Amino acid sequence: MVEPVLGFCSKDQYELFLKQAPNFEEMLIKDGVQIIKLWFSIDRSVQRERLNARKKSILTSWKLSTVDLQAQMKWDEYTKHKLAMFEHTSHKKCPWVIVQGNDKEKARLEAIRYVLSQVPYDDKNTELLNKPIAEGIISIYSGDNTSTEGDCE
């Protein structure tokens, strides 16, 4: 997403990526690799607040990059490319999992719960893992999701 929005790749390279990514994922899956694609989605206003807080903090200001600083200005373009990425790279065997991330703690806990629910391991408590910590945080991209309005932080 960042690459086409900020001109880090050509249009041809971007279109090739959209075609090749699902094939590459399919090869990995056939080789026994389990892929879980999480997209942490936040509202524009939440992103603005987080970026402003990061700018003001001596502890986190070092994390800001020029890409971060352009995020608000290019919000609509990022959203367009994000939706195109979802549309081209989300498929039955490897869907995009949308995590509503406005509440960081709930988003992180739900993401962990989701990953643990998908990975096979001994003594797995499926009853606990299938019970969401917070309703409405996790959704699977299906092409008609309305939960893809936010952007990644």
Residue 39, domain CATH: 3.40.50.300
Q: What span, in angstroms and rounded, lies between the C-alpha atoms of 113 and 130?
A: 8
Q: Which domain holds residue 80?
A: 35-140
Q: What is the pTM of this model?
A: 0.85
> What integer pLDDT is reported at residue 101 of this predicted model?
96
> What integer pLDDT is reported at residue 69 of this predicted model?
81
According to DSSP, residue 68 is labeled H
> What integer pLDDT is reported at residue 67 of this predicted model?
85
Residue 150 in domain: no
Residue 27 in domain: no
> What integer pLDDT is reported at residue 106 of this predicted model?
95
Residue 24 in domain: no
Residue 145 in domain: no
Report, as ranges of residue numbers, the positions in the chain whose pLDDT lies below 50. Answer: 145-153
> What integer pLDDT is reported at residue 144 of this predicted model?
61
Residue 93 in domain: yes
Residue 1 in domain: no
Number of domains in the chain: 1
Residue 10 in domain: no
According to DSSP, residue 148 is labeled T
Helix or strand (DSSP H, E) at 139: strand 138-140
Residue 28 in domain: no
- Which has the closest alpha carbon to 68: 84, 81, 55? 55
- Angle at CA 84, nearest 5°, toward 81 and 85? 85
